[in-house]
Amino acid sequence: MVNGRSSQNNKYFRYYSCLNGCLNRSRSHHWLSSVVIMFGLCKLLCMPAQAEYAISSPRISGFLNAGLTNNDNKTRYLGYKNSVEFQSDTLLGVQVDSPIDESIRVSAQGIAKDTSGNFDIDTEWAYVAYTIIPQLEIKAGRLRVPNFLFSETIHVGASYPWLRPPPEVYNMFQTTRLHGVDFTYSMAFKEATLYLQPYAGEIHSETNSVTAGTDDFFGMRTRLETPNFEYIASFIHASGFFDITVRSNDTIIMQSVDFGFEMFTLGLATELGDYQFLTEFSKNQNTGTSSPDARGWYGTLVYHTDFYAPYVTLAMRDEEGTAANDLVDLHESQSVSLGIRFDLTPGAEVTFELQHAEANNQTSGLFGDPLGLAELPEDNQVNLFSVRFDTVF
Amino acid sequence: MNRSLKKGRITYSMPAFLCFGLINLFSQASAEVLVVMHKSAPIDQLSSDEIKMIYLGKSKNLAENTVAHIVDHLVSSPLREEFYQKATNKTTAKSVRIWARYMFSGKGTPPEVAKDDKEVLDIINQYPTSGIGYIERENISDQVKIVHVVQ
């Protein structure tokens, strides 16, 4: 018992596996006022980092993903229905970067995407970045949670080789935003750069029936980059609460539960000649909720030519369901994806992908809505065909 | 008969081969790409891996307390295509994708883009310790020094 909130499992909590889904829709906070004060103090205490500087005007840039997807299973898979869908993969993003002086810049990114039938516009990030010394930058405000290889650009289709990042791993932690502080310290060696990126903050969200928040949220990602390799190792710790209101006829049931969540991820992206290999492994541990502990892995091989890049991805996710209520709580899945990306012009590309997936051990696998209810399928196999146009501008 | 045909083919193809070789040699000589910095910059030489790190957005720290001000060419520039192919083994399309990942991950802004070699030199003059760019050898000026020759 913490703060009077129950720690017992409840069947409603299966819908809210840890920080997934509802926490993804976080709302604004009073953090920015703290940010301004903190940056003012930093500014007083620290010397400017760079001697050369020319004021440049704000830079506006953007990205667009537009695609269609067809799921051949009657049950929804990754949220895609058994019909041709145009909305789900369609997304528009606009980013504004503006330098204030030689060491301070502000950045904001907004995205418009289809959520439950409507195109909603939301602020994906809004932060102030202060470069204390060339090796150390502090960001504060609404930030991305840096966890995977492509966490920061998960909405930017042109930034990664797939049509979509492998869900067996990337759906294990779908919260993309936090309100807090992020430190990035870089150590440059002769032909390598090591980045240490600790961060801390809070996540809070409200939907019609669920209020969720964190009491503690912190983590760290280390990243080593060489000309042909990129390695990451990351860690997240979160603890918090779900307050759930369930209305049944005239009865209103209010439940509250504390949760704990830890996640570890290792990743590697390497290029050898025309071949590129990417792999990530993630493991999470849950306490307090009915969510099981999960492990996810994928491996991707890409062959690059001047104009197109075919790829194959194998992915797997399995879970230890000792804390689960029933099989719908478990998301054991494996998939193979074949895809090819064509460069149309610099900055514009089209990608075709066929993913064959299976839900394992009579669990729901990745069927259902990744941000909501899991669904047990009648047929545990699915073919998901997708075409998407991605551009940056 | 077979032998005479084979011989004839060799006889006819030799001049063509030599011409092609010479043309190739001249074209390579005229398109030699140099990575340059201002004469007063604290760096005299950069390795091919360091150039790759800089132009793939993996490193901006040139020396202690010096953050590179990277200058690039327009995506339509043949020099950009040649530079990225030789220095990073990437096409222009892939270089755009790499810098998109850099920019949309919040690391900072991508390189400043110049419309030609003269503008590259102008920008480097504005950033005498941190400006870095690539130009054709024929456009080099007294204001800059060569820190790397792209092979």
Q: Determine whether the interchain pair A346/B109 forms a contact, defined as Cβ–Cβ distance below 8 Å.
A: no
Nearest chain A residue to B77 by CA: give it. Answer: A346
Q: Is the model's pLDDT at A373 over the cut of 50?
A: yes
Q: Between B4 and A377, name the one with better pLDDT.
A: A377
pLDDT band at A321 (very low <50, low <70, confident <90, very high): low
Nearest chain B residue to A133 by CA: give it. Answer: B65
User: Residues of chain A with pLDDT > 70: what percent?
Assistant: 80
Tell me if A379 sits within 8 A of A356, measured CB to CB: no
ipTM over 0.95: no
Q: Determine whether the interchain pair A346/B92 forms a contact, defined as Cβ–Cβ distance below 8 Å.
A: yes
Q: Across residues A240-263, what is the average pLDDT?
A: 78
Q: Mutual orientation of helices B92-104 and B78-88 as an angle, nearest 10°?
A: 80
Distances (CA, A) of B132 to B31, B51, B100, B113: 19, 10, 20, 12
CA B37, CA A48: separation in Å to the nearest integer?
A: 23
Phi, psi (rounded to 5 degrees) for A321: -95, 30
Query: Considering CB atoms only, which of A105, A134, A156 is closest to B104?
Result: A156
**Residue A313 token pair:** 């991805």
Q: Between B43 and A289, name the one with better pLDDT.
A: B43
Each residue's pLDDT tens digit, A103-131: 899 999 999 987 666 778 889 999 999 99
How many contacts, defined by CB atoms under 8 Å, are there between A and B?
A: 114
Q: Determine whether the interchain pair A227/B109 forms a contact, defined as Cβ–Cβ distance below 8 Å.
A: no
> Is residue A102 less than 8 Å (CB to CB) from chain B?
no
Query: Considering CB atoms only, which of A159, A304, A345 is closest to B100?
Result: A159
Tell me if A264 sits within 8 A of A235, measured CB to CB: yes
Q: What is the pLDDT of residue A264?
A: 97
Residue with token string 């606009």: A94
Tell me if A152 sits within 8 A of A182, measured CB to CB: no
Q: Across residues A328-347, what is the average pLDDT?
A: 90
pLDDT band at A5 (very low <50, low <70, confident <90, very high): very low
* Alpha-helix residue ranges (DSSP H) falling in B1-151: 2-30, 48-55, 78-88, 92-104, 117-126
Nearest chain B residue to A273 by CA: give it. Answer: B89
Q: Between B149 and A244, name the one with better pLDDT.
A: B149
Instruction: Show residues of chain B in contact with A129, CB under 8 Å.
Output: 106
Q: What is the pLDDT of residue A2?
A: 32
Phi, psi (rounded to 5 degrees) for A54: -125, 130
Q: What is the pLDDT of residue A249?
A: 67
Closest CA–CA distance from residue A157 to any residue of chain B (Å): 10
Phi, psi (rounded to 5 degrees) for A235: -145, 135
| From A129-138, A170-179, A220-229, the region with the lowest mean pLDDT | A170-179
Q: Determine whether the interchain pair B61/A188 forms a contact, defined as Cβ–Cβ distance below 8 Å.
A: yes
Q: Between B13 and B125, name the one with better pLDDT.
A: B125
Beta bridge partners of A391: A64, A348
Q: Across residues A257-275, what is the average pLDDT?
A: 92
CA A201, CA A219: separation in Å to the nearest integer?
A: 9
CA A301, CA A270: separation in Å to the nearest integer?
A: 10
Instruction: State which of A40-54, A239-253, B27-41, B80-94 shows the largest mean pLDDT.
Output: B80-94
Computed over every residue of chain A, the mean pLDDT equals 82
Q: Between A329 and A312, name the one with better pLDDT.
A: A312
Question: Can you give the pTM of this predicted structure?
Answer: 0.81
CA A193, CA A203: separation in Å to the nearest integer?
A: 30
Q: Is the model's pLDDT at A31 over the cut of 60?
A: no
In three-state form (DSSP H/G/I as H, E/B as E, the rest C), the secondary structure along chain A is: CECCECCCCCHHHHHHCCCCHHHHCECCCCHHHHHHHHHHHHHHHCCCCCCCCCCCCCEEEEEEEEEEEEECCCCCECCECCCEECCCCCEEEEEEEEECCCCEEEEEEEEEEEECCEEEEEEEEEEEEEEEECCEEEEEEEEECCCCCCCCCCCCHHHCCCCCCCHHHHCCCCCCEEEEEEEEEEEECCCCEEEEEEEEEECEEECCCEEEEEEEEEEEEEEEECCCEEEEEEEEEEEEEEEEEEEECCEEEEEEEEEEEEEEEEEEEEEECCEEEEEEEEEEEEECCCCCEEEEEEEEEEECCCCEEEEEEEEEEEEEHHHCCCHHHCCCEEEEEEEEEEEEECCEEEEEEEEEEEECCCCCCCEECCCCCECCCCCCEEEEEEEEEEEEC
Q: Across residues A164-172, what is the average pLDDT?
A: 93
Instruction: State which of A111-120, A173-182, B37-46 shows the largest mean pLDDT.
Output: B37-46
Q: Between A318 and B23, name the one with better pLDDT.
A: A318
Q: What is the pLDDT of residue A43?
A: 47
Q: Determine whether the interchain pair B49/A191 forms a contact, defined as Cβ–Cβ distance below 8 Å.
A: yes
CATH class of the domain defined by B32-150: alpha beta
User: Residues of chain B with pLDDT > 70: what percent?
Assistant: 79
CATH class of the domain defined by A11-392: mainly beta
| From A244-248, A275-279, A311-315, B15-19, the region with the lowest mean pLDDT | B15-19
Residues of B in CB contact (< 8 Å) with A are 47, 49-50, 52-53, 56, 58-61, 65-67, 69, 75, 89, 91-97, 100-101, 103-106, 108-109, 126-131
Cα B33 versus chain centre, distance: 5
Q: Across residues B102-125, what is the average pLDDT?
A: 93
> Is residue A139 less than 8 Å (CB to CB) from chain B?
yes
Nearest chain A residue to B50 by CA: give it. Answer: A191
Q: Determine whether the interchain pair A346/B126 forms a contact, defined as Cβ–Cβ distance below 8 Å.
A: no
